[in-house]
Amino acid sequence: MLTQAIVHGRIGHAYLFTGPNQIGKTTLARAFAQALNCEAEAVAQRPCGRCRACQLIAADRHPDVRLVAGEVSGRGKLTLKIEQIRSLQQDLNLAPYEGRWKVAILKQFDAANPSAANAFLKMLEEPPRQVILLLTASESEALLPTISSRCRTVGLRPLPTPVIMDALQNRWQAAPEQARLLAALADGRLGWALQALQNPDLLKTRQEHLATLQAALSGNRVTRFDLAEKLARKPESLPPILLNWASWWRDLLLLAWGNADAERLTNVDQQHSLQQLAQQWPRDCILHSLQQTEKAVRQLEQNANTRLAVENLLLHYPVTQP
């Protein structure tokens, strides 16, 4: 669709790429920016990936392509601020330096605070000439309707696990067992799988998150309160921890309901212990634990008291029998 827009000269002034984190939204936006400014003679062959423009954009060094990302606060919350939008607006008002188009890629625009979103809306309503705005967000509903309605939306969906596994083995030479595990854990996100392949610490961190969960499940109330206090000291680390826990509870629920197809499981390396617990705990107990975990994620997103949210969650979890 994006290629045809370039070929036929029907390029919109703003695009919104939606989908889960690490699914490829920014990668696609960057590739589109390359195609818009690629120096290849044949339009259908853009982006070539070899010319000066393509290489500079790939390295985020092109003078006419600007990547704008939010800043992380002390509480670990990502925020796109009005100062960043104003700075971008000043830059976009200038003519392109060497490319055909000036392109702005705004990562995770759903992190924009209200003042930043309103300031951007004014720019979106009256876009400067030769400017293309590319936004990424988890979903269009996370943005102001007045912003999403002015963008052409391109939704990216998770890839099937076998597709990711095949790509890891054939394109990035991952070992079969490693590719199988990473593809399952990626949950349809090729970007995450590649990052985990290149950085083994991601899997190590995941194992630590699951070990913390097991410590909570096998511990008494005192142990759980101590864990809650420890986790609450680093609120910025809680979202990925809880997402790993939710994934674990989801797999347990699938097994408890007899959906034991390995291709449907995320934590394939935990399958044996999950099967044992699926036979030990009632289904409604497992479902309740998953729901409470997802509830805690939402509470933290809404700036709830971190320690109270974690304590409440851990007290709802069942106890593992020795």
pLDDT, one tens digit per residue, over 126-135 is: 888 899 999 9
pLDDT, one tens digit per residue, over 37-54 is: 999 998 888 999 999 999
Count structural domains, the chain.
3
Assigned domain for 322 exists? no
Assigned domain for 28 exists? yes
Assigned domain for 321 exists? no
Same domain (yes/no): 113, 56: yes
* pTM for this prediction: 0.83
Same domain (yes/no): 170, 109: no
Assigned domain for 312 exists? yes
Same domain (yes/no): 206, 143: no
Output DSSP code: residue 1.
Answer: -
Same domain (yes/no): 14, 81: yes
Same domain (yes/no): 301, 248: yes
Same domain (yes/no): 185, 116: no
Domain span holding position 167: 160-199
Same domain (yes/no): 141, 170: no
List the pLDDT tens digit at each of the 322 positions of the chain: 899 999 888 999 999 999 999 999 999 999 999 999 999 998 888 999 999 999 999 999 999 999 999 887 655 678 899 999 999 999 999 999 999 999 999 999 999 999 999 999 988 988 888 999 999 999 999 899 999 999 999 999 999 999 999 999 999 999 999 999 999 999 899 999 999 999 999 999 999 999 999 999 999 999 999 999 999 999 888 989 999 999 999 999 999 988 666 668 899 999 999 999 999 999 999 999 999 999 999 998 888 899 999 999 999 999 886 5
Residue-wise burial string across 92-105, b where 16 or more C-beta atoms lie within 10 A, e elsewhere: beeebeebeebbbb
Same domain (yes/no): 195, 275: no
Which CATH number belongs to the domain containing residue 86 in this structure?
Answer: 3.40.50.300
Same domain (yes/no): 51, 183: no
Residue 292 near residue 313, CB atoms below 8 Å: yes
Same domain (yes/no): 21, 148: yes
CB atoms < 10 A from the CB of 72, how many?
12
